[in-house]
Amino acid sequence: MYNHTPEEMTQWQDEIVKKKAFSSPAGNGTTEQIRLQEEYLALANAFLLAKHQPEKGRIRLLKTFLKEKRNQQVEIRLLTERAIRGKVSDVGRDFFILTSLLERIWIPYTAVKEATLPFDSPDFDTTHQQIFFDNDLRKKLLRDFGATVSKRLKLRELFYEETLMTSLDRWKGHWLKAEMAGGTIFSGRLEEATEEYVVLKGLGERKTVLYKELQTLRKARFYQNHKRKK
């Protein structure tokens, strides 16, 4: 029976994981050619979808743009013609989140007219933003992907597209400000989030806001306690 050192066992396990994880290439050509081809085909499919189903294609292209600009400053123009700037924090299935120094903003894709980069902001490539390499995390993702991702919010945002309902569900009890399509603004504590609407409880009033009418939903990092005047 052979006695192996811990270092030899770790190296042996890494080799097994590597062999199991990459059994065959994704196509002909070098790795960079395959990667570029996959990105090209994804964009081509999105434009083809936009041609035949304009609304679905528009949302898919918007999601692609926002994913490429994750952690960067973008400018969003709403259907109400109002512009919002913020850093792309999360890109979900039917919404995305912008963050700034003072607030966190949920925006449904259906409320967006167009998205662009501010003129005074640099345009980075997404790959240049990954500064640290966590070798231990890489091993955990290869060996137990589901359990590793489910335990970390940032990993869930990267690998899993949440719905607006599941994202808001974690913020129950927090004070939010909803802006509707007609310009109506209502503030209150989040009581409930469903697949079609959210329920906010304000000062003496409880309001149901449909997602199709929602423009933005904001959570301020700092706000004063609301008290009724006597």
Distance CA 150, CA 160 (A): 9
pLDDT greater than 90 at residue 199: yes
pLDDT of residue 104: 94
Distance CA 65, CA 52 (A): 20
For residue range 81-140, what is the model confidence (pLDDT) as tens digits?
889 999 999 999 999 999 998 899 999 999 999 999 988 766 665 544 544 556 777 777
According to the per-residue pLDDT averaged within each range, which of 31-40, 117-126, 127-136, 145-154 is highest?
31-40
What b/e string do you get for 205-228 counting C-beta neighbours within 10 Å, with b at 16 or more? Answer: eebebebebbbbbbbeeeeeeeee
What is the model's pTM? Answer: 0.73
pLDDT of residue 1: 47
Token pair 């004070």 in the structure block, residue:
175
Considering only residues 137 and 186, tell me which one the structure prediction assigns the higher pLDDT: 186
Burial of 34 (0-12, 13-18, 19+ CB in 10 A): middle
pLDDT of residue 140: 79
Instruction: HSE, CB side, 13 Å, CA atoms: give it for residue 46.
Output: 14
